Structures are given as C-alpha cells and as structure tokens.
Amino acid sequence: MLVLHIDERKVEALREKYLKGLSWAIETANRIPELRAQRKYPKEKVYRELVDLLGEDRVTMNKAICAVHGTNTLGWKYHSPPDIIAIPLNTEEVQEIVRIANKYKVPITPSASGQSFGSVIPHLGGILLDMQHMKYLKIIPEEDIAVIEPGVSYAELCLECHKYGYTFPLGTFPPFTSVIGNIFFASGGIHRRSIHGGKPGGLTEVLGIQVVLPDGELLVLGSDDPPYWWTHSYIGPYWQGLFYQSAGTLGIVTKAAIRIWKRCEEERLLVYGSPSFKNTFNFCQTLARNWLAQDIFVLHWGWAIYKKHRVRYTNELAEDAIKARHMRDPPPGVPYNFISIMLEGFKEDVDTREKVIDRIAAQNGIRRIPLEELKAKWPWLYEHFEVWYLKNLPVRLEPYGGITGSFAIMSHVPTHKVLEIEEYEVDHMLQKIEDKHPGWICATGYLAWPVDGGRLWFFRTVEFLNDFSDDPALMTAIKEEASTEIMATHMPVLRALGWMGGVAYPGFDMAAIAAADYPGPYKLWKKIKKALDPNDVMNPSVLMAVPDNPEEG
C-alpha cells in the first residue's frame, strides 16, 4: 500500500465546486420546457422548406421517430426530442439546411451515428441533423489518408482500409458508430499505435476538414483537392482546433481527411499476466520509454473477467469473479493485470523485440500467457484481442445482459502519479461502489496504457450497472446516486491526486460545472460562438442556452 498524498483542502474545494455546479445544472434543466418555448419558430413552414429541399422521405415530424433522439444512451432523464429530423446526404444539403435554420432561427443539432451522447440531445427542440447516411469514403494510399463523411462507420472504414493494406486506430466503439463523431468527441479507447499517439480520435489523426459554418458557408481547412488534403496551408491559428470537442456549436464537420497507417510485414500479439500494478507499471514504462512496442494495453482483472460473462460463458471462473472478495484480489489463477502488446514491423525486428520484451517481463515478475492458454481460459478476452489486433477490426460489444447504466471516467494521468491513482481507484472508488451496490455491478475495472513514450498514462475506469428492476424511478435513482458518488466523492480526490480530466463537454447537465472548472476557455468559447453564430442556431443547448452560472463571477 502506498501512502496517498491527498490535499484535503483541495478535495473539499473541488467537491464544493461540483455540488454547486450540479445544483445549478438541475435548476437549469428544470427550465427546459420554458427555454424550449422561448425558441418559437414556424414549424410547419420550416418543415415544408426542408421537404422541398430533401423530399418527404428524408424529413419527418413524426413524434415517435423524433422521440428516439430525445434522451441519450447514458440515461439523462430529461426527455427532449427534436421537432423535426432532417437527413442530408451531402455537404451541400447540410449547407442548405443550416441556411433554413438561420432564416427562422431554429436550433439545429448535428448527429452522426444516432447513438446520442449528451451533446446531441436537442434540448431546445428544432431540427436534428441526422448525418448517418452521409457515406462518402475514399482511401488515398499515396498520401496515407482516408477522406470520410460523418456517416462512415468504423466497420466501413476498416474494411475499406484493408483493401489497400492499411489500418486505422480503433477505439472501443461498436462497429457501426461514426468515425468523425468519435474523433471530434475525442473519445478514448484502445489504440493500435497508442504508444506514439495517445488516445484514438485525437486531433492528430485529422489532417483536413470541411466545416459548414453557422451561416451555411463552407470552410475548408486543408484542401478539398484530394492529393493535398493533408496540408495545413491556411493562415492564422490552428483553426481545426475550433471544431474539435466543440460538439457542433461552432460548425458542422461534413468531411475529414484522416491519417491511416500502412500495415506492416509482421504483426504480432503478446499477452502477459502481472501480479500487481507496480510490476505492470515498471514493465510497461520500460517498454514505452524504449519504444519497444506499437501498442501497450493494460486491463484490470475486474474488467477482463467481466462478471457479465456469466451470461455468455457460464464457467467457474466467472462465478469466482462474482464472489471475489476485493477488487485488489483476483480469483485464483487470474493475474491482477492482463497486458497486451502489439508489435509491428519487419519479421527480424519483431523477433528481436519479442525476445527483449520477454526478458524485461521476467525481470519484473511478469508471466507470458501463450495465446492458446488465453483462448482456453479467457475466451472473451482472446476474442477481443484477436478481432482488435490480429484482424484489425472494431470489436463488437459483448451481450450486456441487462446493463442499464455505465459510468466511465477517463483522462491522462501524469506518470509520477500513476501508482497512487491506480491505488485510489481500486481500493477506494471501485471497491466502495461494489460494496454499496452488491449485485448491481457487473463489471468494474480500468483500462490503461502509456502514452507518448511513457510521458503520460491514459486511464479509463468503468463501472457497469446491471439491474433488473421494472421501476424506472428506482433505476434512475440508483444511477444518479452512483454517478453523484463518483463525481462528488471520488473525482475531487482523483483530481487532487493529479488526475488531469475534468468535464469533457458542457450541455445542460454539465455546463455549469464546465464553466466553473475551466472559466477561461469556457468564456472564450462563448465569445467565439456569439461571433460566429449570432442567431445561436448551432446546438445551442450545449453552450448558449444555459444562463451564466453566478459561480462564473
């Protein structure tokens, strides 16, 4: 056990800030009907103009169809559907729709794959711009790029890349989710080349974009001339950053040129089992600092074993996992951490590095797990690795078995704080939540990997709630309780310990907290938004509809 250096005053300040932000968020969210009513516009007229533009097949005011987009998958309880859904098939149609929205000052919420995280809930009604059928996809092998539209999914991109001998870093996203949606949301997950890049979906993967601005004009950053898509030859600041993580508030990305990678002669997967995170950390840092692998990926056993696997794999191991005493103590025969390592290169190079890595593993008390053993003992884990690494395809989710809520916190962690943060997460956060909700948690644990040659680590910690009640109120209450516990109790401690994450995006549920966390960037964002979008049509519920929090000063 480490001695955790927790600055209690800092924790208390962060907790207080969160709780104030939360009450402000609830107060604001309760005003949704009132705020919606303020955004009056001639619905029928707007609908008619959209039908004239797109045809009746691609515009609807059907209340049931719209209702699907009224709540996100994370269970945000305020049901707030769009008034109209419009399905464009190309950039020109997006421009025209945005012009119509501007003409009537209608809120417009872009959505790429329909999965609906918080940023695409049209809290103020208006038009939901459903871009899932914008499917332009072109691989340009001579430039190592793919040009894609928002409707292109991971599955489509991967399969197309394979035709040219290329690959694209995959996240933990289901095959049919949007690549652009995830890139610009900055989602985290496994990365085929994590050791070099960081988290997938980072802006570094994007080489050029086309954006429809709030007035309907098209902005091209990079070139729309395919051979030169990669160039950043425009003047001024790095404008692409404006549209990254801005949740469609400043513009709608309709096309992006993204970096793809040529596959190597040899691709080899090595899997290791570690008895403790300290061993894991020392081992992985050595590999990362010496650039010995393309990808290093660490799994806490609680995630790897996944209690949910009792659904699909009824075996003793899963039963043991359910009965395990503590998140620190894996069931017998299960390593504390699973470590997967991907090697790519020429065969001779990969052979040499494999030997070196085996030696470093032995020096750190870490055991190599042959793939046959992995397949026999932990088939679901093998299947994931096989699909991700060897077949280089997005992984399908496992049967969830009634999982109705999940919490994921993810962020970069400074290397010198990694051990402390891991300890707090496992011993204080995950274990306490397990203790508090016995039978409700079906998977707990973290994914982690060193980034940028071991300069930082990326941690993604997840809880899956597994509930079987037919009482929506009870389930909502439990989810909210668990969520609040993480945000109010554990996040302040983690951040005091050096966890670098905060609120990723604002929105009705988070705006006040985001404003309190990052007052400078938040105010700048609002100023830019006002300048670019005077009619406040672009996804207004994310940023502008939320009145300024008194906490902002």
Partner 1 sequence: MPNNGGKYKVKELAELMKYAYAYTLGCVRCRSCAGYYVYDDKQIQLKGCPSYWRYKFTAFSAGGKIFLLNKVHQGLVDFDEDLAEVFYKCTTCGLCKENCIGTVWQLTESFDPVRIFELVRAELFARGLASPKHKIFVESIIQNHNPYREKHEDRFKWMPAHIKIDEQSDLVYFVGCTSSYRRDEIAKATVEILHRVGIPFKTLGEEEWCCGSPALRVGARELARELAEHNVRALEKMKVSTVITSCAGCYRMFKKDYPEMLGKLPFEVLHTSEFLERLLDEGKLKLEKEVPLVVTYHDPCHLGRHVGVFEAPRKVLEAIPGLTLVEMPRHRKSAWCCGAGGGVKAAYPDFALWTAIERVKEAIETGAKALISTCPFCSHNLKDAIQQEAPFLAFYDLTELILKAMP
d(C-alpha 386, C-alpha 38), whole Å: 52
Crossing angle of the two packed helices 277-289 and 347-363, in degrees rounded to 10:
140
d(C-alpha 393, C-alpha 385), whole Å: 10
CB nearer to partner 1: pick between 177 and 240 = 177
* Beta pairing, strands 127-130 & 108-111: parallel
- Tell me the β-bridge partners of 461: 409, 446
Q: What share of the chain is helix, strand, coil (3-state, %, to 5)?
A: 45, 20, 35
CB nearer to partner 1: pick between 482 and 494 = 482
Q: Which residues are within 8 A (CB) of 435 and not within 5 positions of it... i.e. 6 or more apart?
A: none
CB nearer to partner 1: pick between 63 and 355 = 63
- Tell me the β-bridge partners of 368: 272
Joined tokens for residue 359: 């030696």
Which residue is associated with the tokens 């997460």?
425
The DSSP code sequence of 179-237 is: HHHHHHHT-----TTTTTS-STT-GGGEEEEEEE-TTS-EEEES-SSGGGTT----SSS
Q: In whole angstroms, how close is the CB of 286 to partner 1 at the nearest point? A: 34
Q: In whole angstroms, how close is the CB of 181 to partner 1 at the nearest point? A: 12
Closest CA to 444 of 435, 452, 454: 435
> Looking at beta carbons, which pairs linking 383-386 to residues 24 or more positions away fall under 8 Å?
385/269, 385/271, 385/340, 386/269
Q: Which residues are within 8 A (CB) of 362 and not within 5 positions of it... i.e. 6 or more apart?
A: none
Using CA atoms in the order 223, 227, 231, 235, what is the torsion angle rounded to 10 degrees? -40
CB nearer to partner 1: pick between 54 and 500 = 54
Q: In whole angstroms, how close is the CB of 466 to partner 1 at the nearest point? A: 9
User: Rg of the chain over CA atoms, in angstroms?
Assistant: 24
Q: In whole angstroms, how close is the CB of 5 to partner 1 at the nearest point? A: 38
What is the amino acid identity at position 460? R
With contact defined as beta carbons under 8 Å apart, do 91 and 255 qualify?
A: yes
Q: In whole angstroms, how close is the CB of 511 to partner 1 at the nearest point? A: 23
CB nearer to partner 1: pick between 138 and 278 = 138
CB nearer to partner 1: pick between 158 and 545 = 158
Q: In whole angstroms, how close is the CB of 85 to partner 1 at the nearest point? A: 6
CB nearer to partner 1: pick between 174 and 414 = 174
Q: Which residues contribute to the site for partner 1 (CB under 8 A)?
A: 57-58, 60, 62-65, 67-71, 73, 75, 77, 79, 85, 87, 113-116, 130, 132-133, 153, 155-156, 159, 162, 174-177, 311-312, 387, 391, 393, 396-405, 467-473, 475-476
Q: In whole angstroms, how close is the CB of 66 to partner 1 at the nearest point? A: 8
Q: In whole angstroms, how close is the CB of 388 to partner 1 at the nearest point? A: 11
d(C-alpha 198, C-alpha 91), whole Å: 30
Within 10 Å of residue 74's Cβ, how many Cβ atoms? 16
Q: In whole angstroms, how close is the CB of 129 to partner 1 at the nearest point? A: 13
CB nearer to partner 1: pick between 369 and 393 = 393
- Tell me the β-bridge partners of 268: 343
Q: In whole angstroms, how close is the CB of 48 to partner 1 at the nearest point? A: 19
Q: In whole angstroms, how close is the CB of 161 to partner 1 at the nearest point? A: 11
CB nearer to partner 1: pick between 58 and 103 = 58
CB nearer to partner 1: pick between 219 and 371 = 371
Q: In whole angstroms, how close is the CB of 305 to partner 1 at the nearest point? A: 19
CB nearer to partner 1: pick between 6 and 155 = 155
CB nearer to partner 1: pick between 119 and 132 = 132
Closest CA to 364 of 299, 273, 442, 451: 273
d(C-alpha 170, C-alpha 349), whole Å: 24
